[in-house]
């Protein structure tokens, strides 16, 4: 499931050097970039969770460890803390995870349901197709309204210029 060979070796080397120099902020930023570029690489999420844990942000660590199959006791505690921070709402948790990778990877993922009950509900929320919400419709309506307003203002401007000239 995890193929880290796709990620440039140079980038991984820089990441390792950042961690060795204890420049965890830079390593964190580098991992965020890698996760957005390689969303299917769940190992990157685990590494980012490790960085957040070292930075003393356990709920953020839990956010990135949440999709990890084999969790250590520290990971479980961090994931539980993350769930509490999100109000134990599977939809909020799914949005906070910001997983943009291949949904087939999530479907094959076996999350530990014995320790805490939400992971599979969250996985279902991540896999299901999002429905068009009222917010989406309002954003679309707002953008269209702005475009129409701009066209009207341009037409008024052209009309005014022609009136001045003629």
Domain boundaries, the chain: 4-130, 132-166
Q: What is the pTM of this model?
A: 0.68
Q: Which of 8-12, 73-77, 105-109 has the highest mean pLDDT?
A: 73-77
Per-residue pLDDT averaged across 27-48, rounded? 90
For the segment 45-95, what is each residue's pLDDT rounded down to a tens digit?
A: 999 999 999 999 999 999 999 888 888 899 989 988 998 898 888 888 888
CATH architecture for segment(s) 4-130: Alpha Horseshoe (1.25)
For the segment 128-166, what is each residue's pLDDT rounded down to a tens digit?
A: 665 666 677 888 899 999 999 999 999 999 999 999 988
Tokens of 144: 């269209």
Does residue 6 register a pLDDT over 50? Answer: yes
> In residues, how long is the chain?
166
Distance CA 27, CA 5 (A): 19
Three-state SS for 2?
Answer: coil
Distance CA 36, CA 57 (A): 21
């Amino acid at each position: 499931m995890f193929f880290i060979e796709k990620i440039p070796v140079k980038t991984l080397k820089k990441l390792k050097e950042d961690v060795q120099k204890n420049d965890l902020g830079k390593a964190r930023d580098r991992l965020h970039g890698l996760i957005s570029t390689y969303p299917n690489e769940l190992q990157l999420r685990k590494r980012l969770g490790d960085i957040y844990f070292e930075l003393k942000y356990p709920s953020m660590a839990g956010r990135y460890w949440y999709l990890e199959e084999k969790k250590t006791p520290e990971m479980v505690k961090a994931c539980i803390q993350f769930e509490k921070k999100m109000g134990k709402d599977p939809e909020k948790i799914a949005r906070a995870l910001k997983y943009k990778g291949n949904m087939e990877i999530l479907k094959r993922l076996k999350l530990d349901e014995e320790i805490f009950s939400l992971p599979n509900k969250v996985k279902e929320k991540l896999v299901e197709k999002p429905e068009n919400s009222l917010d989406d419709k309002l954003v679309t309506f707002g953008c269209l309204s702005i475009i129409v307003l701009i066209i009207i203002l341009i037409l008024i401007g052209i009309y005014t210029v022609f009136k001045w000239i003629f």
